[in-house]
Amino acid sequence: MNSLPSPVLDSLRATTRRRFLQQCGTGMGALALNSLLNDKLFAADRGLPILGQPHFAPKAKNIIYLFQSGGPSHLDLFDPKPELQKRNGQQVPEELVKNIRLAQIGKEAKLLASPYKFAQYGKSGMWLSELMPHLQTIVDDVCFVQGFHSEAFNHDPATIFMNTGAQLAGRPGMGSWFSYGLGSENKDLPAFVVLMTGVGQPLTNAAWGSGFLPTMHQGVTLRSQGDPVLFVSNPPGLGSQRRRQSLDTLKDLNQLRYDTLQDPEIQTRIASYELAYRMQTSVPEVMDISKETPKTQETYGTTPGRASFANNCLLARRLVERGVRFVQLYHRGWDHHGGPDGNLVFDLKQRCAETDQPAVALIKDLKERGLLDETLVLWGGEFGRTPMMQGALKPDQIGRDHHPHGYTIWMAGGGIKPGTVYGRTDEFGFYAVENKVHVHDLHATILHLFGLDHLRLTYRFQGRDFRLTDVHGEVMKGILA
C-alpha cells in the first residue's frame, strides 16, 4: 500500500501511531490527551493544541460546577445579618451605594430582613437558613467562601465573567482551559460537558464556548431530550451494524486515497470516524441512569426520563467516574426580583427544594465512592442579591436585585479545606470585607488545585498571551487543605 517506502515516512507513521495510542489508549500519564482528538499533529494551526500535563502535582482530577443561574440570595441562604433585621424597611445608608451602579432598583431602596430562620451547623458553626436542610448535614465537608465578589451586575456579562474571566463573550470557558491544559482521561467522552435544567435567564454558549482555543475544547452540551450529543444517534433504520459496515467502507476508501496522496490528515480523519463510532456507544451508556439502584435514585431524588437537576447531579457522578474532566450543571430560575415573576418566598423555596437534596446527595455519594478527594464540587451563581428590597411588594412576594459586591459560594472536595467558613461581608451583607475572593482569585485557586499555574496556562491569540485570570488572580491559600 505504500508507494514510497522510506525510513523517514515509517518513522513518521510510527510517531502517528504512538500519538494515537497516547490519545486513544489508556489515557493515563503525562500525555493523557483530549478525547476530542485532533491534537493538530496534522493540521496547520496556531499554537499547541493541548498542553497535556500539569505544572506541578495536582490535588484534584475532576470538577463538578453546580452553576446556579440567576443569582441566589446569599442573605436568605448563607449570610444572616442582624443589622438587616434591625433596620428592615429603612433606607439603605447612602455611603453603601454611593459609588456603584445598580441594575434595576434606585439608590433610595429600603433594606430587607430575611424572612427565614437561621441556625449554626457543624464544627465551623456555619449559619444556614432553614431552606437548605440537606446542606446542614454536610457542613463539615464544605468550605463556604463568604467574601466572594464579582464585578458585573447584569446576568449575561456576569455569567460570562464567572465562566471565562471576562465580561465580554469571546474568551474560552473555564472547562475549555482545563481541556486545553490537561486533556481528558477518557478516550470516548469529551473532556468538558455541560448539562442544563430549569427555566429562567437565557444561557448562551459564550459561557462554555472555546473562545479562541481550538473548538475541540468547547463544552459539549449533553441534552436531556433528543440526542444527548447532537447527531450521536444514527437515523431510524440505520443500526449499529450497518454503521459499522459503512465506516469499514469509508476507511478502506480513505486508505486508498492515502496511498495515493500520503496526506497524514487522511489518517487523522480515519481515526476521528473511529472515535465517533465509539462515542455512539459510550454516550448513551453514560446517560442512562435507570440502571442505578433504587436507593441511589431515592437519595438523589431522580426521575429517569424527566429532566431535573437531580438527574444531572447523578449524571455528573457517572461522568466523573468515567474520567470526564469538567462537568458543569446549570440550573436556572434564581433571579428573584420579587413579585409573581420570581420572589424570595415561593420561587426561592422551590429552587432550594430542587437543588439542596441532589447536590448534597452528590457529595455524599462521591465521598462514599472515594471520589471526593479528587473531585472538586463548586456551587454558586453569577452574583448574590442586594440587602435592599426590590419594589414595594406584598410580604409573600418580596425580592432583591442583582448584587456582585459580596456574596457566598461554596466548595467541597478536590483539595479544598473542609469545614471552613472563609471571609465575610459587612454588617449589611453588602460588600465583601475580609478574606475577599474575587472571580479571578477563584479561577487561580481552582487551576492551582489541578496543578496548573494560572500565570503559565496561556494561549497566544491576536498577539497576546491570554489567561483564564486575565491579568489578575491570586491563589487563595487559606482555603486549600
Partner 1 sequence: MRALTSFASPRRQNPVARLLPLLAALTLVPAAALAAPDFAKEIEPLLVKRCSECHGPDKQKADLRLDTRAAALKPAKSGRAALVPGNAEASELLQRITSTDPDEVMPPKGEKLTAAEVATLRQWISAGAVWPEGEALKHWAFQKVTRPEPPPVTQPQAVVRNEVDRFILARLSPEQLTQQPEADRTTLIRRATLDLTGLPPTWAEVEAFVNDPAPNAYELLVDRLLASPHYGEHMARGWLDLARYADSNGYQVDLARSIWPYREWVINAFNRNQPFDQFTIDQLAGDLVPNPTLEQKIATGFNRNTKVNDEGGGDAEEYRTKAVKDRVATLGTAWLGLTLACAECHTHKYDPITHEDYYRLYAFFNNSTDAGNYSVGPNVEVPKPDLSQTEGFVRARLEQARKELANAEAKLAAEQAKWEKSVAKKGDVWRVLNLKNANSTGGSGYTNLADGSLLGTGVNPIYDTISVEADTDLTGITAVLLEVLPDPSLPKNGPGRWGASGNFILDEFAFAAAPKSGPVPANTNLFFAGATADWEQQYYRAEHAVDRNPKTGWAIGPKFGERHFLIAHLQEPAGFKGGSKLSFKFEHYHGNSHCIGRFRLSVTTEKDLAALWPVSADVRAAVAAVPASRTPEQTKLIAATQRASSATLRGLEGKLFRLEQKQKQLAAQKFTSLVMQERGEPKPRDTYIHLRGDFLTPGKAVTAGVPAAFPALAVNEPGNRLALARWLVDPANPLTARVTVNRFWERCFGTGLVKTSEDFGRQGEAPSHPELLDWLASEFIRTGWDVKAMQKLLLTSATYRQNAATDAKRLEKDFYNRLLARGPRFRMDGEMIRDHALAVSGLLNPKLGGPSVYPVQVPNLWKEIGFLRPEIGMDEWPVSEGPDLYRRGLYTFWRRVCTYPTFATFDAPSREVCVARRPRTNTPLQALAALNDPTLLEAARVFAQRILTEGGPDDAARVEFAFRTCLGRTPTKEEAKRLLAYVRQQQSSFSRDAKSAAELVNVGSADRSASLDERKLAAWMMLANVLFNLDEALTKG
Enumerate residues 159-198 that contact partner 1 by CB under 8 A. Answer: 168-170, 196
Tell which one of 172, 175, 214, 387 touches partner 1 (CB under 8 A). Answer: 214
Among 86, 341, 369, 481, binds partner 1 (CB under 8 A): 341
d(CA 362, CA 231): 29
d(CA 4, CA 259): 9
Please give the full DSSP string across 443-476, using - where no structure is assigned: HHHHHHHTT--TTT--EEETTEEE-TTTT-----
296 scored as a contact of partner 1 (CB under 8 A): no
Q: Least CB distance from residue 344 to partner 1, whole Å?
A: 14
Q: State which residue, 44 or 392, has the beta carbon closest to partner 1.
A: 44
Residues 410-439 that bind partner 1 (CB under 8 A): none
C-alpha span between 63 and 251 (Å, rounded):
36
446-449 contact pairs (CB < 8 A, 24+)? 446/63, 446/174, 446/376, 446/378, 447/177, 447/181, 448/475, 448/480, 449/58, 449/59, 449/60, 449/376, 449/414, 449/415, 449/416, 449/480
User: In this chain, which of 108, 227, 285, 434 binds partner 1, going by CB under 8 A?
Assistant: 227
Compute how many residues bind partner 1; rule: CB under 8 A.
106
Residue 223 in the binding site for partner 1 (CB under 8 A): yes
Our finding on whether 254 is near partner 1 (CB under 8 A) is yes
Position 36 contacts partner 1 (CB under 8 A): yes
Among 138, 139, 222, 232, binds partner 1 (CB under 8 A): 232
Residue 71 CA to its chain's centroid (Å): 15
Torsion of CA 327, 333, 335, 338, to 10 degrees: -160
Closest contact distance (angstroms) between CB of 439 and partner 1 is 17
Rounded to a whole number, what is the distance in angstroms from the first to the last CA of the chain?
A: 57
By three-state DSSP, how is residue 375 classified?
strand
Which of the stretches 76-84, 406-414, 423-431, 459-467 binds partner 1 when contact is defined by CB under 8 A?
459-467
Q: List all residues 6 or more positions away from 351 whose beta carbon is below 8 Å from its beta carbon.
A: 68, 72, 198, 331, 333, 334
- To the nearest whole angstrom, how small is the minimum distance from the Cβ of residue 165 to partner 1? 15
372 Cβ partners below 8 Å, 6+ apart?
Answer: 141, 363, 366, 412, 413, 414
> What is the C-alpha to C-alpha distance for residues 114 and 129, in angstroms, rounded to an integer?
9
Strand 400-403 and strand 192-197: pairing? unpaired
**Among 21, 28, 230, 353, which residue interacts with partner 1 (rule: CB under 8 A)?**
230
Q: How far apart are CA 328 and CA 182, in angstroms?
A: 17
- Minimum CB–partner distance for residue 380 and partner 1 (Å): 20
Q: How far apart are the C-alpha atoms of 446 and 166, rounded to whole Å? A: 17
In this complex, which beta carbon is closest to partner 1, that of residue 40 or of residue 110? Answer: 40
CA triple 106-107-108, angle to 5 deg:
90
Q: Which of 61, 81, 155, 336 binds partner 1 (CB under 8 A)?
A: 155
Residues 320-339 that bind partner 1 (CB under 8 A): 339
Interface with partner 1, residue 31, by CB under 8 A? no
Least CB distance to partner 1 at residue 417 (A): 22
* Binder among 82, 237, 370, 395 for partner 1 (CB under 8 A): 237
- E strands, 139-207, in order: 142-149, 192-197
350 binds partner 1, rule: CB under 8 A:
yes
Applying the rule CB under 8 A, the residues between 99 and 118 that interact with partner 1 are 101, 103-104
Task: Return the closest-CA partner of residue 178 out of 39, 50, 361.
Answer: 50
SS3 at position 332: strand
In the complex, what is the shortest distance from the CB of residue 281 to partner 1, in angstroms, rounded to a whole number?
12
Work out which of 246, 284, 433, 478 binds partner 1, going by CB under 8 A.
Answer: 246
Q: Which of 88, 124, 136, 154 touches partner 1 by CB under 8 A?
A: 154
Q: Among 191, 203, 352, 388, which residue interacts with partner 1 (rule: CB under 8 A)?
A: 203
Of the candidates 23, 65, 19, 414, the one whose C-alpha atom is nearest the C-alpha of residue 184 is 23
Minimum separation from the CB atom of position 379 to partner 1 (A) = 22
Task: Report in angstroms how near the CB of residue 383 gets to partner 1 at its nearest.
Answer: 12
Q: Least distance to partner 1 from the beta carbon of 245, Å?
A: 6
Interface residue with partner 1 among 22, 23, 38, 146 (CB under 8 A) is 38
**Angle, helix 7-24 to helix 264-287, in steps of 10 degrees:** 10
Binding part of the chain for partner 1, among 36-44, 73-81, 112-120, 368-376 by CB under 8 A, reads 36-44
Task: Give residue 81's identity as a one-letter amino acid code.
Answer: K
Residue from the set 124, 136, 137, 262 that interacts with partner 1 by CB under 8 A: 262
Of residues 8 through 27, those in contact with partner 1 by CB under 8 A are 8-9, 12
Candidates 21, 238, 353, 481; binder of partner 1 (CB under 8 A) is: 238
Nearest to residue 78, comparing CAs of 142, 128, 140, 113?
128
Q: Is 261 in the site for partner 1 (CB under 8 A)?
A: yes
Nearest approach, Cβ of residue 232 and partner 1 (Å): 6
Nearer of residues 87 and 325 to partner 1, judged by Cβ? 325
User: Measured between alpha carbons, how far is 140 from 131 in angstroms, rounded to an integer?
Assistant: 18
For residue 299, state whether it binds partner 1 (rule: CB under 8 A).
Answer: no
